[in-house]
Amino acid sequence: TVVFHAGEPGKEKLMQLPLAELDFEEIFDHLTSVYVPALKEGAEPAAPEETKATSQYPLDPLVHVFEHLLAPDGCPWDREQTHASLKQYLLEETYEVMEAIDIGDMALLQEELGDVLMQVVFHGALAQGRGDFDCNYIIRDVTEKLIRRHPHVFGEVHVDHARQVSVLWEQIKSEEKKNGPQQDKAPQNLYGGLPALLMASEYLKLKKKLTGEKTLAAVAAAEQVDMLWQKLQVKRQGEGIQEEDLGDFLFASAVLGKACHLSPETALIRTIQKMSRDLVKNEAYL
């Protein structure tokens, strides 16, 4: 409860305001008081009514840690980082989250999700230092996006099944892009920083969307892979395998994965993980 000009006839006013929003207001003066009711012993703080938040731990402590790390007397390594230099760490942490999910280790998943969150806050802290944005804007924008893209939950739109939700999501997303800032998306930047096999999958989805062309059936895709494999064997014995040849084979493998409703990226990751486990197991016997 915020009290303005207490005891002054005609000027006294009360306002209910969430504690977290006090520093966003510019209406306070030297005759403003804030009353925060005491919690009963053992009671938890009430969640703000408008958000129904249930998180006991806000981001503030983590944000403050990065403020110290990036301060002039902070960590030399952290102070040298840029958005670009942190890309590899965000990617690595994301894959470690996927591995924790694959093996079903919830304690590990909790830890790895924390590492991803750390990367998000790190980027937010770097942007804040440059005056671009901060974590408040990140959370605000994604919250508004989720509400905007779920009109069947937060609005009056009715849906009967998950497929309709996916179609609705894409429609709203398309409308947002149409009405939002125009971005120059050259072909080489169309998929951002996606790994190559995942980029191939996204290309196939985009191609189907733009041309209506269906993905090859599994049998035809497998035949294409086999044909390119034979081509690699011939080239290996002759002029040698070129980068383009290998690229064609890998892309055909991605097409095969799409035809079989499998993720080539995930398939390769799991194969490497299996081989790594076998390697460590064999090393233990040496």
Q: What is the pLDDT of residues 127-153, one digit of tens each?
A: 999 999 999 999 999 999 999 999 999
Q: What is the pLDDT of residues 4-33, one digit of tens each?
A: 778 787 777 777 666 655 655 566 777 888
Instruction: Give the pLDDT of residue 51.
Output: 47
SS3 (DSSP) at 2: strand
Q: What is the pLDDT of residues 30-76, one digit of tens each?
A: 788 887 777 666 555 444 444 455 555 678 889 999 999 999 999 99
Domains and CATH numbers, the chain: 1-56 (no CATH), 60-177 (1.10.287.1080), 196-284 (1.10.287.1080)
3-state helix, strand, coil in the chain (%, to 5): 60, 5, 35
Average pLDDT over residues 215-234: 85
Average pLDDT over residues 166-189: 73
Average pLDDT over residues 242-263: 88
Please report, rounded to a whole number, the percentage of residues in the chain having pLDDT higher than 70.
83
Those residues whose C-beta lies under 8 Å from the C-beta of residue 94, and which sit 6 or more positions away, are 116
Average pLDDT over residues 95-102: 86
Instruction: Give the pLDDT of residue 71.
Output: 94
Average pLDDT over residues 117-135: 95
Average pLDDT over residues 164-182: 82
pLDDT surpasses 70 at 101: yes
Q: What is the pLDDT of residues 218-227, one digit of tens each?
A: 888 888 889 9
pLDDT band (50, 70, 90) for residue 180: low
d(CA 71, CA 165) in angstroms, rounded, equals 45
Contact assessment for residue 111 and residue 103, using Cβ atoms and an 8 Å cutoff = no
244 — alpha (psi -120 to 50), left (phi > 0) or beta?
A: alpha
pTM comes to 0.60
**Mean pLDDT, the chain, as a whole number?**
82
Average pLDDT over residues 168-197: 71
In terms of Cβ atoms closer than 10 Å to its own Cβ (0-12, 13-18, 19+), residue 152 is middle
Instruction: Give the pLDDT of residue 42.
Output: 58
Q: Which two tokens stand for residue 59?
A: 């981001």
Instruction: Give the pLDDT of residue 124.
Output: 96
Instruction: Give the pLDDT of residue 49.
Output: 47
